[in-house]
Chain A
């Protein structure tokens, strides 16, 4: 199970968090809000499917390219996130 596995690999999780912290402020805000949303919606493969680590890679590349966060995600962040987890089962879907 996603987050649980990541927490059990505590070193990885802390490395992940340290990278999030190094993002520019606008990216960090959006990352934090997305993570908060995903924790609630609960895709089963949040980590195994690489959703959070992949998102972080994507944001780091965008920031390095000098782009603003909403230019890469689009203004509708929720739609972007739902696109990311489309096809992966969520706890919310199971209800």
Chain B
């Protein structure tokens, strides 16, 4: 890979939660699948523990609701779906993201 994108941890810090909410908004899903989705997207440094920590926070803040469902392999899995508050939070995330990224792009273009 030509680009040095192997250490995004710091830069992703504030946005990962929004990414997780977005993934959950598409369909009800479970922790390990969310990590895999982020890894496939190119965020290869994201580990299950990080996603688990985010899910725990989302649950505490009642942005997601959790349902335990049986799995073919091993113990029941916790599936996550957005609550109304979660959907609102996600909408706010995208508004903020568009604002930040458009400002930063402008800065780069030099006409800010």
Contacts and interface: CB of A to CB of B under 8 A. Distances in A.
Verify whether A and B have any Cβ pair under 8 Å. yes
Interface of A: 49, 54, 57-58, 60-65, 67, 71-74, 80, 83-84, 86-87
Specify the main secondary structure of chain B where it touches its partner.
helix
Given A61-B77, A80-B49, 18 more contacts: A58-B31, A60-B74, A60-B75, A61-B32, A61-B74, A62-B32, A62-B48, A64-B74, A64-B75, A72-B48, A73-B49, A74-B49, A74-B50, A80-B50, A83-B49, A83-B50, A84-B52, A87-B60
B47 A54 contact: no
Contacts of A58: 31, 48, 52
Interface in B11-47: 30-32, 47
Range of interface residues on chain B? 10 to 19
Interface of B: 30-32, 47-50, 52-53, 56-57, 60, 71, 73-75, 77-78
